A and B are shown apart, each in its own frame.
Chain A
Amino acid sequence: MKILKVNESNQTKVIDEIVQSLSRGELIIFPTETTYGAGVDATNQAAVNKLLSYKTRREGKPLSIAVPDINLAEQYVEINETARKFYATFLPGPFTIISESKHKTAQGVESEFGTLGVRIPAYQLDLDFLKAFGKPVTATSANAASKPSPYSIEDLFKNLSEKQKSLIDLVIDAGELPRNKPSTIIDTTLSAPVELRQGDLAVEGVARIEDREVDFISESEQETKDIAKRLLLKNWKKIKTTGLIVGLDGELGVGKTVFTKGIAEFLQVKDTITSPTYNYVNEYDFVRHEVAGKFYHFDVWKVGTKEELERLDFYKILKPHHVIVIEWWQKISGFVSDLEVGLLEVRLSENDKGQRELRVRQK
């Protein structure tokens, strides 16, 4: 591992070193306007594999890429109208803008939904080396999964294993960075933009997936499924630690089962998801990123009492690694309180434009 301290006078040399290192498929640690980042050539599969083993368990959390400008970005993602506005207003800056990927990066960079996040860092050294390198570089914070964001090299090394350290080839040390949060992530691939993670800067008028209440608009069955998948990814940790109930409400034919199919796709359930109305509940096994669990799909329309719910073994299945989707949730929500399990309530309705509105509440 080579450590280079960067200062006013050695920038040209540092940029040169970075470009050479990235070209060799090496893993570098570099400063940004948020935290220290871990970077490799995002188009080099071996390099990306190296980064993925450095970052440890990702379980579907995508990486994003850093580019010097929108021109390079456009070679890798489809920039739609919404995204273009965000680029113009917020980039360069501490934002990651997610668009449909053109699938030109190495495997493991884009999300499982076929989307890709793009950063243009507001950090001159980064813009310079990215321009000189001419290819996208992965933009992910340098810490391993579940470790704090690193603002100094010292910080970072404290939390790294020897194996992780051995994977690093070059460190660009810019000293202690200002304690800015990781970037704000905005997904522009849905009909209305959604903020998936909030950094220091918030965006007016954009729905935040982390809010207790958030509304989505869906133009199609596919989009309803896409929204379900994003919500589940956001709750993945909860699924593993406590289990998750997804309570669905909405009239017949509004798309509750479609939403459920999206959840099943996210969980990589192999079987076809059919209506549980007749049986009260259908049970499926899932394995997602080597995490095994069970997926239950309830229709409680015929259930009127807590005793009936007990007879369906409902309370026995509220545990980690279980995802429990319940259609007609309001019928039984009163029987489910103070439980040690995550809860996502989704009310679906159709507006007069024929779109589906999804009102999501989470706790």
Chain B
Amino acid sequence: MSGVKTILAFDTSCDDTSVSLVQGETILVNVIASQVELHKQFGGVFPTVAKQAHIENIEPSLLLALKRTGLTLEDVDAVAVTVGPGLAPSLEIGLTFAKNLAKKLKKPFIAINHIEGHLLSPLAKRQTRKIIEVKAAKKTHEKKVKFPVLGLVISGGHSDFVLIKNFGEYVRLGFTIDDAAGECLDKIGRMIGLGYPAGAVIEEFAKLGDAKKYEFPLPMTDSRDYNLSFSGMKTFARNLISKLEQEATGRGENGLNKQTIYDLCASAQYGVFRHIIHKLDKILAKENIKEIWLGGGVAANQTLRKLLRFKANQHGLVFRAPYSKKLCADNAAMIGVVAAKKLERGDVITGPRAIAKIDRQPRWHIGEELR
């Protein structure tokens, strides 16, 4: 083996069980159990509430990860796991499993903050086997990181602006005081009747609609902080939808027509992103920032990426986002990337006693010490 350490990482912060093997920033494998892979194997539907699913999925996911890479547990140099934030009973499963494994293998244990995972997810690299790929990848990903970085974690569960002063040095500049951005879109989709979560459908429909058709309110323009709030948009959407439905009924139509739905999706998405960009502008005007990074489920949204890339270009900043959709979702590869940085710094936990003391931390905000 070369000098590069191999890290085995777990994430069971919410619904999905994920296991990954990484070497530095390079992702060897990233198994997400509730998504395609294990579904195919078992051919069944997984329970939505996670605890039982994690218990059932964690070992098969680990075996699959090893099989795909051709590695064995002997090759693992450290074990990393999300300890928070997340759903307490779910976190518990991954944490216990990883602790036992670290003890059994007598390897260092690394406790990871899930948000830090999303924050550093833009750094994750594909495993490059062919020379051509190496050349092709010599773009943003190869550029050396310039701090300070502004990290945006925008997902169904989080909306955070984080100042990254260096790896391991974070200041939470702003956060949502109610719903997350992705959640707001999911819920508006739910009101329109697009199922749940509806984020991906909204993105598709938005492409067919007029984003300026309905003007969603821009929240918290008076507040001087960098916080976000999406509850007012939800209320606005509810009233707008019921008004449009009444109008449709008045015209003798059965529910909203397609174009109205497309326009609603486009306008809602624009409203949500406009709020984020508005606060981003405030931050860029005040703080000294060199790069903008985007992570989290909504980072998969191309419109948001375009908006942020445009902003970054405008200010002469580097923009980075994860190379795949899977890295935007809750996944263990990003946990592995953070773990690699921590391992480099020696920020690891060794010895069965110290490992046993680590407890799940469901409300661990980024920038706070692990309790």
* Interface, chain A (partner B; CB < 8 A): 251-255, 257-258, 271-275, 277-284, 301-304, 308, 311-313
Given A274-B177, A274-B178, A279-B157, CB of A311 within 8 Å of CB of B49: yes
Q: Would A302 and B48 be within 8 Å (CB), given that A252-B234, A272-B175, A278-B156 are in contact?
A: yes
Which residues 157-198 of B have a CB within 8 angstroms of A? 157-158, 175-180, 183, 186-187, 190-191, 196
Other-chain contact of A253, B47, B155, B237 (Cβ < 8 Å): B237
Question: 20 A-B contacts, Cβ less than 8 Å apart?
Answer: A251-B238, A252-B187, A254-B238, A257-B179, A258-B231, A272-B177, A273-B178, A274-B176, A274-B179, A274-B180, A275-B180, A275-B183, A277-B157, A277-B179, A277-B186, A278-B158, A281-B88, A283-B88, A303-B49, A313-B89
* Interface range for B: 35 or more
Complex contacts, B234 vs chain A, CB 8 Å: 252-253
Chain B residues with Cβ below 8 Å from A302 are 48-49, 196
Q: Known contacts A281-B88, A282-B363, A283-B363: does B177 contact A311 (CB below 8 Å)?
A: no
CB-CB under 8 A for A278 and B49, given A251-B238, A312-B89? no
Report, nearest first, the 8 A-B pairs whose CB atoms are least far apart. A278-B157, A253-B234, A253-B235, A308-B49, A311-B51, A253-B238, A275-B179, A279-B87
- Give the complex CA separation of A167 and B100 in angstroms: 60
Q: Complex formed: what's the CA distance from A313 to B360 in Å?
A: 15
Q: How far is the CB of B308 from the nearest CB of chain A, in Å?
A: 22
Give the nearest-CB partner of B238 in chain A.
Answer: A253
Q: Does B14 contact A (CB under 8 A)?
A: yes
Closest B residue, CB atoms, query A304:
B48
Once bound together, how far apart are the Cα atoms of A96 and B237, in whole Å? Answer: 43
B52 contacts the other chain (Cβ, under 8 Å)?
Answer: yes
**Measured between alpha carbons, how far is A273 from B87 in the docked complex, in Å?**
15
Contact present for A284 and B363 (CB under 8 Å): yes
- Roughly how many angstroms separate A257 CA and B230 CA in the complex, as a whole number? 11
Q: How far is the CA of A258 from the CA of B184 in the complex (A)?
A: 15
Q: How far is the CB of A298 from chain B (nearest CB, A)?
A: 11
B60 at the interface (CB under 8 A from A): no
Residues of B within 8 A of A273 (CB): 178
Q: Does B95 contact A (CB under 8 A)?
A: no
Chain B residues, Cβ within 8 Å of A254: 235, 238
Contact, CB under 8 Å: A313 / B179: no
* Interface check B352, CB cutoff 8 A: no
Residue of B nearest to A272 (CB): B177
Q: Find chain B residues with CB under 8 A from A253 CB.
A: 187, 231, 234-238
Given contact pairs A253-B237, A257-B231, A279-B87, A311 touches B180 in the complex (Cβ within 8 A): no
With a cutoff of 8 Å between Cβ atoms, the chain A residues found around residue B52 in the complex are: 311
Task: Please give, as numbers and ranges, the residues of chain A lying within 8 Å of B236 by CB-CB distance.
Answer: 253
| Closest B residue by C-beta to A251 | B238
Q: Does B271 contact A (CB under 8 A)?
A: no
Cβ–Cβ < 8 Å partners of A301 in chain B: 196
B86 adjacent to chain A (CB < 8 Å): yes
Q: Which residues of A contact B88 (CB under 8 A)?
A: 281, 283, 313
- C-alpha spacing A302/B156, complex, angstroms: 14
Q: Does B362 contact A (CB under 8 A)?
A: yes
Residues of B within 8 A of A272 (CB): 175, 177
Tell me the bound Cα distance from A282 to B178 in angstroms.
12
Set of chain A residues within 8 Å of B178, measured between Cβ atoms:
257, 273-275
Interfacial chain A residues near B187, Cβ < 8 Å: 252-253, 277
B80: Cβ under 8 A from any A Cβ: no
Give Cα A250 to B52, complex, Å. 30
Task: State whether the Cβ of B50 lies closer than 8 Å to any Cβ in chain A.
Answer: yes
- B31 shortest CB reach to chain A, Å: 21
- Residue of A with least CB distance to B242: A251
Q: What's the Cα separation between A123 and B86 when bound, in Å?
A: 60
User: Please, how many angstroms separate the alpha-carbon atoms of A254 and B242 in the complex?
Assistant: 13
A247 to B140, CA, bound (A): 50
- CB of A271 within 8 A of CB of B363, answer yes
A278 touches B14 (CB 8 A): yes
Report chain B residues within 8 Å CB of A277. 156-157, 179-180, 183, 186-187
Bound Cα distance from A282 to B13, whole angstroms: 12
Give per-residue flags for B229-253: 1 if the beta carbon is below 8 A from chain A beta carbons, else 0: 0010011111000000000000000
* Chain A residue at minimal CB-CB distance from B155: A278
B190 to chain A, nearest CB (A): 7
Known pairs A252-B187, A277-B179, A277-B183; A312 contacts B51 (CB<8 A): yes
